């Protein structure tokens, strides 16, 4: 009988905590776009470590969910000539995720070529990593 009471109680507690945790992750990542745009590698590294330690999420876990004016973090770094933060993001992403199409169906390399940024230092880092 006690098992029948504990399980629904634990299940309801687990469901009530999840939305709060997701809200906290969103708050923790709120200013990541401005950090990337400012090319503040130290602050970005600190933010990534904090999210990893507090929420056990690596960059690949939240990368697709972050949009900076419609662009991904690496695209934002490329548009703002943020070489330091862009390089850090590229090195932290798995190779398979770098070559995968993003939300608009274009890979990062195809998007860089389309934007005329294929000769940028960040494009060279991406090409080297793949």
**Mean pLDDT, consecutive 10-residue segments, the chain of 130 residues?**
46 41 71 92 93 89 88 92 94 89 89 90 88
pLDDT recorded at residue 13:
39
pLDDT for 22: 53
The rounded mean pLDDT for the chain is 82
Q: What per-residue confidence (pLDDT) applies to 9?
A: 40
Q: What is the pLDDT of residue 116?
A: 92
Three-state helix/strand/coil letters over the chain? CHHHHHHHHHHHHHHHHHHHHHHHHHHHCCCHHHHHHCCCHHHHHHHHHHHHHHHCCCHHHHHHHCCECCECHHHHHHHCCCHHHHHHHHHHCCHHHHHCCCCCCCCHHHHHHHHCCCCCHHHHHHHHHC
The pLDDT, as a whole number, for residue 5 is: 46
């Amino acid at each position: 009988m006690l098992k029948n009471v504990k399980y629904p109680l634990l299940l309801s507690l687990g469901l009530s905590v999840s939305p709060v945790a997701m809200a906290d992750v969103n708050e923790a990542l709120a200013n990541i776009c401005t950090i990337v745009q400012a090319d503040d590698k130290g602050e970005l590294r600190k933010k990534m470590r904090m999210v990893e330690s507090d929420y056990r999420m690596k960059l690949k876990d939240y990368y697709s969910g972050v949009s900076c004016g419609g662009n991904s973090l690496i695209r934002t770094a490329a548009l703002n000539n943020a070489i330091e933060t862009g390089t850090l993001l590229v090195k932290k992403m798995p190779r398979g995720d770098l070559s995968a199409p993003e939300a608009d169906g274009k890979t990062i390399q195809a998007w860089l070529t389309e934007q005329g940024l294929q000769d940028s230092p960040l494009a060279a880092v991406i090409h080297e990593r793949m």
